[in-house]
Structures are given as structure tokens and as C-alpha cells.
Amino acid sequence: MKYNFLLKTKVIFGTRCMAENKSELKKFGNRALIVTGKTSGKQSGALDDTIEVLKDQGIGYAVFDKVLNNPTLENVFDGGQMAAETKADFIIGIGGGSPLDASKAVAAIAVNNIKPLDLFNNVLPNKPLPIVAIPTTAGTGSEVTAVSIITRHDLQTKMSFGNEDTFPVLAFLDARYTESMPYEVTVNTAVDALSHAVEGYLSNVSTPVSDVFAVESIRLFGDCLSALLENRIDYATREKLLHMSMLGGMTVAQTGTTIVHGMGYSLTYFKDIPHGKANGLFMREYLKFNYDVVKEKTENILRLLKLKDIDEFGRVMDKLLVNDKQFNEEEFKLYASLAMKQKSAKKNAKSVTDADLVEIMKRSLLQ
């Protein structure tokens, strides 16, 4: 047995956890740049709470609230420039996966005289600024990963960068900040978290440690499944979903993702399908494709979800997610070629070809 793992983020979880631990922020300096989008930070109350805590601690701040739903290299470069201009000592990312991912790129660009494209070399002359992460969705787990996913228009897809220095140093997880999510966003982000746990669990680089995180994350999704299906999501359920999302993030922090994400990126880039929903549309056929190689683990996933077989899993996904887009085989060929360029394709339990991915897409999206 051989494995290694690294988790560098201090997590503080619970209602009003930031206010109760506000002195933690003083460890990182006297001036912060808050990185967020236009709406989620404000609507959730997280932005106001953060500003209140910063003022209480005598920490100066500026706000970069221009993060796009799928941040681009140009977008994060602008944030990095603002961090440098305002002489920020640390970055606070507030929001869903996009602002949290963007905050890692901003932290790197702020102190490195590099072109945005150079981020993907994963070699930074200067250590990025410290990052504090405050999620307002329960899906990406980005608060506990080093990975930043950025849209690459030059490649017509998303790609990731990150190393051990881009892990957030601190994360405040307060389920109150997820209460403003509409039902559809709650479902999509929960499915995103499930895809992290499942892909990490079935990855060919999974370890005994990553499996512990993955199994508990999948189990929690199973506990929340009836509430998601029936749209009766109370605060206790939101706490479970946030905890599940964090565990899914801890899983992929060790393993990375597989072909589900590789295929899903194209649905987001070309069809504007939300990331978690895009992943979920492929998961039934993904499980079927890999079944003969990871049968025991797949059966365990179904037990944890309290589902009898993969087809029942597919019916559940169909109830949670509705595919309302049109596709053709030429599009699938393009999407498959793009997915095969992702590092994640090599981590799939079963080796894949372009033709395999086209078939998975056809079975997932044309039936």
C-alpha cells in the first residue's frame, strides 16, 4: 500500500462561524481584497458579514465583484491587477465555485509578473497571497482544493491549474449562506458535489484516504436525496449538503476528476448548461461504462444512495435534472476530442477513446 495526501486548509464549520472566529483573519495581514460575483455574495449575506468582521478587526479592504459565472483568463487578470494596486495582503473569495476558483488565480497574479496563460504551467516564482474561502453554494468544494478552473476561449473549454500553494489557508463554512440559492441551483450544485465524490472514488488514482472522504460524501447525498427530490430542503439538510460538498472537494483534492468533468465542460462552454447539471447528465452512462472495471465500488455507491441499480440511479438523475437542449453527433465528436485533451481522461477507471465518449454522450443526451 502506497499513497500520499495533502490537505492544507483550516476549516471552521458552523452557523455564524466567521463572526465567532473573526480574529483568525488578523493572521493574514491588514488589507484584504474580496473576490466575488455580482449577486451571490450580496444575496447570501456573506459579503455584508465579511465586511462587518473586517471593520471590527481593523482590516482594510477593497471589493472585486466582477467575477463571471465561468471566469476567464482576462477576468482573473483584472482581479489580480486590482489586488496588486490595492496592496492586498490576502484574498477573500466569496461565492460559488467561480469566485472561489477565481480567487486562487487572483492570489497568484497579484504577486507574480506573469501572463495569465502562464498559470497553467503550475510554476509560480512567488508564492500566491493567502486565500480565505467562504462558499455560498454546496457543490464545488473549491474551499478545500488547490484547483482553479478557468475558461479557455483559445481552446473552447475549461482547464485547471493549481499547486500546493493555491490551497485556501482558511475556509468558513456557514450553511446560512446557501439558503438564498434557488431550488434548481441547490440541486445542480449538490449533483456537482456528488460527481466529485463518485469520480474520485472510481478514479484509477484513488487512495484509501480519498475513499474515506468520498464514501461519506456519497452517503450524505443519499441522506439528502428525498429532500432534494421533494423540494423540502430545511436548514439541517443544507448543513449536510455543505458538509458533503466539502468532503467531495477533499476527495478530488487528492484524485482530481475523470471523464464526467471532461465531457461536462463542453456542455457548459457551448450550451451554457450549469456545471453540476452538465456532470449529472452523464453520470448514469459513466457508471455503466466503468462498471466491469470497478464493479464492487459501483455497487457500494448504489448501496450508499439506497438505490437498487444503475438504472434507478439514472431515473433519479432524470427527476432532478432535465435536459432541454438539442445535440447532434458532430457536436459530440468535438466535445469528445476536447475531453480527451483533459488530464482527467487519463484518470478514468477504464481507458477511454474518442469513440467511447461519443457513445456515452449519445446514450446520455439523445434518449
What's the confidence (pLDDT) of residue 320?
98
Which helix or strand (DSSP H or E) is residue 186 part of? Answer: helix 183-202
Q: Is the pLDDT of residue 367 over 70?
A: no
pTM of the predicted model as reported, rounded to 2 decimal places: 0.96
Work out the mean pLDDT of the chain and round it to a whole number: 97
Q: Which residues of 168-207 are buried (b: 16+ CB within 10 A; e: fewer)?
A: bbbbbbbbbbbbbbeeebbbbbbbbbbbbbbbbbbbeebb
Please, which pLDDT band fits residue 2 given cuts at 50, 70 and 90?
Answer: confident
Region 52-69 average pLDDT: 97
Q: Are strands 131-135 and 31-36 parallel, antiparallel or unpaired?
A: unpaired
Q: What is the pLDDT of residues 264-313, one digit of tens each?
A: 999 999 999 999 999 999 999 999 999 999 999 999 999 999 999 999 99
Can you give the pLDDT at residue 19? 98
Phi and psi at 54, nearest 5°, equal -60, -45
Span 149-177, mean pLDDT? Answer: 95
- The whole-number pLDDT of residue 40 equals 87
Does position 47 have pLDDT exceeding 80, yes or no? yes
**What average pLDDT does this structure show over 80-105?**
97
CA distance 116 to 306: 45
The C-alpha atoms of residue 179 and residue 137 are separated, in whole angstroms, by: 9
Which residues lie closer than 8 Å to 226 by C-beta, 6 or more apart?
A: none
276-297 in b/e form (b: 16+ CB < 10 A) is bbbbbbbbbbbbbbbbeebeeb
Q: What is the pLDDT of residues 222-263, one digit of tens each?
A: 999 999 999 999 999 999 999 999 999 999 999 999 999 999
Strands of 37-186, DSSP E: 60-64, 90-95, 131-135, 148-152, 157-161, 170-173
* Contact (CB, 8 A) for 112 and 166: no
48, 209 in Cβ contact below 8 A?
no
